[in-house]
Amino acid sequence: MPDRRMYRIAAIPADGVGKEVIAAGRRVLDAMADQAGGSTEGAFGLEWSEFPWGSEYYAEHGRMMAPDGLALLRDFDAIYFGAVGWENVPDHVSLWGLRLNITQNFDQWANVRPVTFLPGIESPLRKADRLPLDWVVVRENSEGEYAGLGGRNLSGRGPGNEVAVQTALFTEKGCERIIRFAFDLARTREVSKVSSVTKSNAQQYGSVLWDDVFKRVAADYPEVQTESVLVDAMSAKFVLQPEDLSVVVASNLFADILSDLGSALAGSLGLAASANLNPERRFPSMFEPVHGSAPDIAGRGISNPVGAILSAALMLDHLGQPTAARNLETAVETVTAAGIRTRDVGGTAGTDEVAAAVIEALKLASAPLEPA
Ligand code: GGG
């Protein structure tokens, strides 16, 4: 029997529903590892380390993660992240202190956010009933509007006189690497098309540089269809012509907003998965549901674990277990099709019930796994 491939995973559930959905995702992954461990091929094991960072940690330590947190994470094979944000910490402090601290310092410059329409889930789009819809938002994840450049000044002049500058940073290298990533991804998809999103009529420097790079890179991929669309028009297109989309690439802020719109169109933010990738693999990549900490439902056992479970599938892909990843996606589809759904998507099931149903579906339908 081949050696079992072991993966070291850092879990950071962080805040609110992040704790519930990461616990659910871990249960599913452990069940898969147990299953795979019993087979002669594709055996893998998961060695977890959980870190208690987040807003509760902040209340005790005055910071969102340990001072040597990045060094502690550095050698893991992947990071499985929940959600960040709670009322005791200003949102910009919690986001920059944890999630962005990791994505920026580990150069996780490609944020892949599939928009997946699952069976048994009602979409607010009528078109979804008769057309197969499936696209991926590729978010530039290292610069743009999230460069963190700027400052607040002149508050000393008295009320009403303060000014703030928030500068977006677009580098040619940053634009090129994410645009190439989008084209490479498009080549692997049934419809080879990349839609680039900017606001170059108003943002005459950063967006126009992005558009120029897009045109230059597109010339290297003559077989891939392309379009350049303004972000306002793309918002409308998500609703009115989603069948025309395959890979949508955009800056940090635009893609963040568009991917939330995409998840809502697919039925719920609770369903959406994401991968924050360092494609060169110099640092661990991080996998997390798109949704935030949802304080309104946290702690009640009713949050939707599907986004976290599908993020685990993206993690398995990244770890070199594509068959396990496909099995997990199929199991989720079986469960949603069977009507086992949380309240955000019209069901009555709890977080744990959905996770348990996915584990059952995996037992029934697993394809053989990869050799180790
Ligand atoms: N799991 C994703 C998450 O926790 N998001 C919190 C959030 O506020 N994110 C904003 C952003 O990353 O742009």
pLDDT at position 353 is 98
Q: Tens digit of pLDDT for each residue in 34-61?
A: 887 645 467 899 999 999 999 999 999 9
pLDDT at position 187 is 98
Alpha carbon 13 to its chain's center: 14
Ligand 1 atom 6: residue of nearest CA: 292
Burial 53-78 (b: 16+ CB within 10 A, else e): bbbebbeeeeebbeeebeeebeebbb
The values of phi and psi at residue 297, to 5°, are -120, 0
Whether residue 107 lies in the annotated active site: no
Which of the residues 7, 15, 80, 199 is marked catalytic?
199
Alpha carbon 109 to its chain's center: 12
Q: Which residues of the chain have pLDDT under 50?
A: 1, 38, 40, 369-372
Q: Give whole-number Cα distances, 43 to 117, 134, 350, in Å.
A: 30, 31, 30
pLDDT at position 1 is 46
HSE, side-chain direction, 13 A CA sphere, residue 76: 26
Cβ of 79 less than 6 Å from ligand 1: no
pLDDT at position 16 is 98
Cβ of 294 less than 6 Å from ligand 1: no
Cβ of 284 less than 6 Å from ligand 1: no
Whether residue 77 lies in the annotated active site: no
Ligand 1 centre distance from Cα of residue 42 (Å): 33
pLDDT at position 284 is 98
**Pairwise CA distance, residues 82 & 21, whole Å:** 7
Ligand 1 atom 13: residue of nearest CA: 256
Cβ of 84 less than 6 Å from ligand 1: yes
Check residue 194 and report its DSSP letter.
E
Q: Is the pTM of this model over 0.75?
A: yes
Rg (CA), the chain: 21
Whether residue 146 lies in the annotated active site: yes
Q: Which atom of ligand 1 is nearest to the CA of 252?
A: 13
Give CA angle at 86 (84, 92), nearest 5°.
65
Helix or strand run (H / E) with residue 57 = helix 55-61
pLDDT at position 367 is 55
pLDDT at position 362 is 96
Ligand 1 atom 7: residue of nearest CA: 292
Place of tokens 């994505």: 103
Ligand 1 centre distance from Cα of residue 289 (Å): 9
